[in-house]
Chain A
Amino acid sequence: NAGVTQTPKFQVLKTGQSMTLQCAQDMNHNSMYWYRQDPGMGLRLIYYSASEGTTDKGEVPNGYNVSRLNKREFSLRLESAAPSQTSVYFCASTTRDGTYGYTFGSGTRLTVV
């Protein structure tokens, strides 16, 4: 099915460990985004890539890095995980101006202990 695919769906890390969250879309979208969702906080933008070859910081980028590997794939890396990064992470993609809405993946639930 066409859409946004995120892996893994669940992950438990120890403080200080690193990991990469993967995201791929097959809708030929130009723009891709990483959000985190915390109870009572709503969705907050971590990083985004407006087009292939570009990445920019969002509202809460500290502790994260991203790579736009190609037009389809946009990964999020935690270099040294902290308990404050326990959250649900969503990847999204859209056409360049978002006219037809944003398509979200099903999320990665990350727990840092």
Chain B
Amino acid sequence: EDQVTQSPEALRLQEGESSSLNCSYTVSGLRGLFWYRQDPGKGPEFLFTLYSAGEEKEKERLKATLTKKESFLHITAPKPEDSATYLCAVQLFGSQGNLIFGKGTKLSVKP
């Protein structure tokens, strides 16, 4: 069964304290891995797509990396405005674009 697991479920950081979120996957035929940010009461907001092992993408304080079994979202020197739930999703070959989501990591950054 195709599965996406995110850890930790929740993460509390002090402002400026760098850390990483993990997304591990067990799927048949990964086409792409997506990272989203979701604020309370809002829909997910697209951050990155990664397609091949070794690929990296950056946006402001966020950097996403991909291996054959997992992806990391590194947050460097986070600010309180980075507080949100971060969702990981995978797209499989032949899936007509459907995404399989993990349950998310809720990040809180305290000033």
**Which residues of A are in contact with B by a Cβ distance under 8 Å?**
4, 31, 33, 35, 40-45, 48, 50, 56, 58, 90, 92, 94, 96-107
**Is B49 interfacial (CB-CB < 8 Å)?**
yes
Give A43 to B98 CA distance when docked, in angstroms: 12
B46 and A41 contacting across the interface, CB-CB below 8 Å:
no
| 22 sample A-B contacts, Cβ–Cβ < 8 Å, listed by A number | A4-B43, A31-B96, A31-B97, A33-B98, A41-B103, A42-B101, A43-B87, A45-B99, A48-B96, A56-B96, A98-B32, A98-B97, A99-B32, A101-B34, A101-B46, A102-B34, A102-B44, A102-B46, A102-B99, A103-B46, A105-B43, A106-B42
Complex formed: what's the CA distance from A73 to B87 in Å? 26
- Which residues of B are found within 8 Å of A35, using beta-carbon distances? 101
Q: Provide the bound-state CA to CA distance between A112 and B87, in Å.
A: 27
Nearest residue (CB) in A for B4 is A42
Considering the chains assembled together, what is the distance between the CA atoms of A105 and B89 in angstroms?
Answer: 17
Are A104 and B96 CB-contacts (below 8 A) given A40-B103, A42-B101?
no
> In the assembly, what is the distance between CA of A102 and CA of B44, in Å?
9
Contact call B97/A107, Cβ cutoff below 8 A: no
With the chains together, A44 CA to B101 CA distance in Å?
A: 7
Bound-state CA distance A65–B105 (Å) is 31
**Chain B residues with Cβ under 8 A from A104's Cβ?**
36, 43-45
A75 to chain B, nearest CB (A): 17
Contacts A40-B103, A42-B102, A42-B104 given; indicate if A90 touches B43 (C-beta within 8 A). Answer: yes
CA distance A41 to B104 in the complex (A): 9
B108 neighbours in A (Cβ, 8 Å): none
Shortest CB–CB separation between residue B27 and chain A, in angstroms? 14
1-49 of chain B: CB within 8 A of chain A: 32, 34, 36, 41-46, 49
